[in-house]
Amino acid sequence: MRRLNRKETLKVVKELDAFPKIPEDYVKTTSTGGTVSIVTFIVIAGLVISEFMYYLDSRMKYGYDVDTDFNTKLQINIDITVAMKCDYIGADVLDSAGDSAMFKFSGKLKEEPTSFEMTPQQRSWHKTLQTVRKALSEEHAIQDLLFQTGFSSKPTNQPQRVDSGKKLDACRLHGSLTTNKVAGNFHVTIGKSIPHPRGHAHLALMIDPNNYNFSHRIDHFSYGTPVPGIVNPLDGDLKVTNESLQIYQYFIQIVPTKVKTRAAKAHTHQYAVTERERVINHGAGSHGVTGIFFKYELSSLVISVEEVYDPFWKLLVRLCGIVGGVFATSGIINSLMGLIMDVVCCRFNKFKSLKTEEESLPGHHLETDQPPSSPGILASSSSSSTPN
């Protein structure tokens, strides 16, 4: 019983064979077929290679959503150098949470006396940053590349000062502050800030206002976790003024960003900035407090950036599609060409045979004058002309 079953199933399976074998004797090969085959193989090879390249390449997918993350804090990463001694200036953050001007941030900026003049290495790094930023503002596709390569503008990538003996005429403020995730204002002004219950004040030492110098360089200014691939619009910013009573204002619009790339996976922030600078001149109606102000607001949208790869099975599906499709198409082309060849050849053959008939016709007439010497003519006209 069992054996019979197996035999029957074998038969059924045999009938299901989609690849009927044709004996080689019945297979005709032609030179046109060969040519088409060679072209087909070349086309398939080319397409398969390009498909592989596409598969190995990754793409950036951008999306956006409403920001539903209320509880996180906002981290501000700062590395700026101001052309004044550290004793003279102070930096702090005010945020607009609750009772306006309370000290609601944690963390402290390190103050480091330095020289405002850059070393040649720092200058070239600065130039690189500025070039990248400029290119970025002109061509968005560069952003994809930055994400893919994980270009990092972190201050740690900046060359350190090596020369000593320079005049320490400037102050480098660097570090991270953490505040509430609300709009706020980070600023650097004259005097150390001292908190008091109703806000804070900057205790201005007795410095001659003529010695104020808010020329500054921003090596890094970012929000959230620093992520490779994001070049912040203020990184590499350099402002030099020869006016002592100068106000620099940066209006910043922060966009929360979720980054998921090969180089990084983080929840961070990007921003856009517009800037304004003016000189205080009470006589001309330009009032204010000298200093550098970063006023920031948060966008309610969150942008997601994801590096996507095609799964391997998709590559397989596409490869099968390419190979099968090209093969089937080439089959059609081959039979079409065969058909055309046949038609042309047949026409030609017909034409030829017609011509030979026409050629044989004068022979037909000649035959009456000449003796029937040619056996070919005799053979061809044996039925019609036998009067001789």
Ligand X SMILES: *[C@@H]1O[C@H](CO)[C@@H](O)[C@H](O)[C@H]1NC(C)=O
Residues in contact with ligand X by CB under 6 A are: 83, 116, 213, 215, 240-244
Smaller CB separation from ligand X, 116 or 186:
116
The residue assigned the tokens 């804070």 is 200
Q: What's the closest the beta carbon of residue 212 comes to ligand X, in angstroms? A: 7
Q: What's the closest the beta carbon of residue 190 comes to ligand X, in angstroms? A: 13
Question: How many angstroms separate the CA atoms of 387 and 218, rounded?
Answer: 118
Strand (E) or helix (H) holding 131: helix 120-138
Question: What contacts 251, CB < 8 A, 6 or more positions away?
Answer: 273, 274, 275, 276, 295, 296
Smaller CB separation from ligand X, 215 or 257:
215
Decide: residue 214, CB within 10 A, 0-12 exposed, 13-18 middle, 19+ buried.
buried
Smaller CB separation from ligand X, 242 or 384:
242
Q: What's the closest the beta carbon of residue 296 comes to ligand X, in angstroms? A: 26
Q: What's the closest the beta carbon of residue 213 comes to ligand X, in angstroms? A: 4
Six token digits for residue 327: 């093969």
Q: What's the closest the beta carbon of residue 81 comes to ligand X, in angstroms? A: 10
Q: What's the closest the beta carbon of residue 117 comes to ligand X, in angstroms? A: 7
CB burial of 121-157 (b: ≥16 within 10 Å; e: otherwise) equals ebeebbeebeebbeebeeeeeebbebbbeebbbbbee
Smaller CB separation from ligand X, 75 or 215:
215
Smaller CB separation from ligand X, 178 or 244:
244
Could you count the other beta carbons within 10 Å of the beta carbon of residue 243? 16
Smaller CB separation from ligand X, 38 or 240:
240
The residue assigned the tokens 């920031």 is 296
What type of residue sits at position 301? L
Alpha-carbon Rg for the chain in angstroms: 42
CB 265 within 8 A of CB 282: no
Select from 275, 274, 294, 278 the least CA-distant residue to 286.
Answer: 278
Smaller CB separation from ligand X, 210 or 384:
210
Q: What's the closest the beta carbon of residue 286 comes to ligand X, in angstroms? A: 15
What type of residue sits at position 366? L
Smaller CB separation from ligand X, 31 or 242:
242
Q: What's the closest the beta carbon of residue 280 comes to ligand X, in angstroms? A: 12
What type of residue sits at position 85? K
CB 271 within 8 A of CB 296: yes
Six token digits for residue 308: 């996507």
Smaller CB separation from ligand X, 165 or 197:
165
Strand (E) or helix (H) holding 379: helix 375-380
Q: What's the closest the beta carbon of residue 244 comes to ligand X, in angstroms? A: 4
